[in-house]
Amino acid sequence: MKELKMCSTTFLMRVVSTLSRTKKLNWLPFFIFHFSFFILSGFSQVNPKLQSKLDTQAKEIEPKVIEWRRHIHQYPELSVNEFKTAAYVAEHLKKLGIEVQTGVAKTGVVGLLETGKPGPVIALRADMDALPVLERSNLPFASKEKAIYNGQEVGVMHACGHDSHVAILMGVAEILVKNKSDLKGMIKFIFQPAEEGGPVGEDRGANLMVKEGVLKNPNVDVIFGLHISSGTPIGVISYKAGGSAAANDDFYIKVKGRQAHGSSPWSGVDPIMVSSEIIMGLQTIISRQSDLTNEAAVITVGRFNSGIRENIIPEEANFSGTIRTLDTVMQKSIHERIRRTATKIAESAGATAEVYIEQQELVTFNDPSLTEKMLPSLRKAVGPDNVVNVKAGTGAEDFSFYQKKVPGLFFSVGAMPADKTKAGSHHTPDFYIDESGFITGVKAMLDLTVDYMYLKK
């Protein structure tokens, strides 16, 4: 892209020189304005009439996107259980005339739109699963669903916005089908299950979809994905080239002690007390043993389970949590320190500790060349002042498994209510997004898709 811009600048200088010699300077302002727009737009060859149609249709489909999102929000499903959501999506794609494959990675749906003309294969991804969170809102379409998770009944809620991702991609698919005659190549619509996790020790989500060949037959050239953000203003798109989100590893620690009566703890080995010391020790790995001037890192314990009665010191305690890293060397070091900290603290108390660490997501890595190439498309969707380059975060995304195989761009779309400076954060009962932000996602995905078709040689 830089080389193209340099060549174009040289060409522009020669034209200006020629116009000066022929004394036709009255054409100069007109020529400079239109040629400069051509350069700054990233050499998009999209027909202006097509672009106008896409913009109009994005606005027209907004009510449908909101309707779809509300339906999905009202009936959320946990990871690997997205049966109703998958059927809802598949029915929509089939009505559009798109070739549909179901049961991918257990509950995933993949649609393929063939334009009949040679061109790139572009994949667009939306995740479908919800979280074990009890919704705390007064929305008329609030979730009332419940499910069994880790052996206990829980509320189920789209507390991370995956319902909006699905609805946005459904809208994008409908618009692209309407404009099939103006497109080239193929488009894969990937509706993915289990981004939030799955059974321990089993492949799931993007990782399993890749293993089952979602990026092949036909081979995908590039993939785009988005995530709604309750903390970003409406109409704003944020991105980062290179590493943009953290690797995520889950850890599980089992501490075995010796059961005793609560009145005489000296006669046993208390696994709850030992586990508490281990949990405190894990925090020193971050605060005292990791070079945070290099990259950020996080260890969080999110679950603890032990005991059945107040006056019995139990035999065993189990707890688990998440590790977030942005650097592979730090990641390996933290894993080793977790194992050492847990086993040595347990040993010092006469207990034993078993540590299991499972990879969940890789570092989400936006291909720098692709990101630079597609920035004009994002800017076209919302205006240049509303596309913001941000620092890497410690959130994680299994979109990273697609990016390991093909160039990918993953970005965030703002949906923070205009009357708030802070909205309920993701993964909480108070999570809330403004639906007027959805059109930003629709326009961005449309512009990325169509522009890439015409930029790809």
pLDDT digits (tens, 9 = 90+) for 172-201: 999 999 999 999 999 999 999 999 988 888
Beta-sheet strand order (sheet of 108-114) = 99-104, 108-114, 186-192, 121-127, 222-233, 408-416, 237-239, 387-389
Write down the pLDDT at residue 18: 53
CATH topology of domain 247-361: Alpha-Beta Plaits (3.30.70)
139 by DSSP, 3-state: which? coil
Residue 239: its pLDDT value, please?
Answer: 98
Contact in structure between 120 and 452 (CB atoms under 8 Å): yes
Each residue of 133-143: pLDDT tens digit?
A: 999 999 999 99
Which residues are annotated as catalytic? 129, 195
Separation between Cα atoms, residue 244 and residue 336, nearest integer Å: 24
Model confidence pLDDT, tens digit, residues 362-420: 999 999 999 999 999 999 999 999 999 999 999 999 999 999 999 999 999 999 988 76
Q: One-letter amino acid identity for 8?
A: S
Q: Same fold for the domain at 48-241+367-455 and the one at 247-361? A: no
Q: Where are the domains of the chain?
A: 2-40, 48-241+367-455, 247-361
CATH, domain range 48-241+367-455: 3.40.630.10
Distance separating alpha carbons of residues 243 and 226, to the nearest angstrom: 15
Residues of the chain with pLDDT under 50: 1-12, 15-16, 25, 30-44
DSSP SS3 for 196: coil
What is the per-residue pLDDT for 323?
98
Tell me the two tokens of residue 139: 């929305």
Q: Which amino acid is at 114?
A: E
Q: Token digits for 116?
A: 């009949």
Amino acid 7: pLDDT = 45
With beta carbons less than 8 A apart as the criterion, state whether 243 and 326 touch: yes
Q: What is the pLDDT of residue 189?
A: 99
Euclidean distance between CA atoms 349 and 365, whole angstroms? 42
**Is there a contact between 257 and 271 (Cβ–Cβ < 8 Å)?**
yes
Q: Which residues contact 425 (CB under 8 A, 6 or more apart)?
A: 230, 231, 431
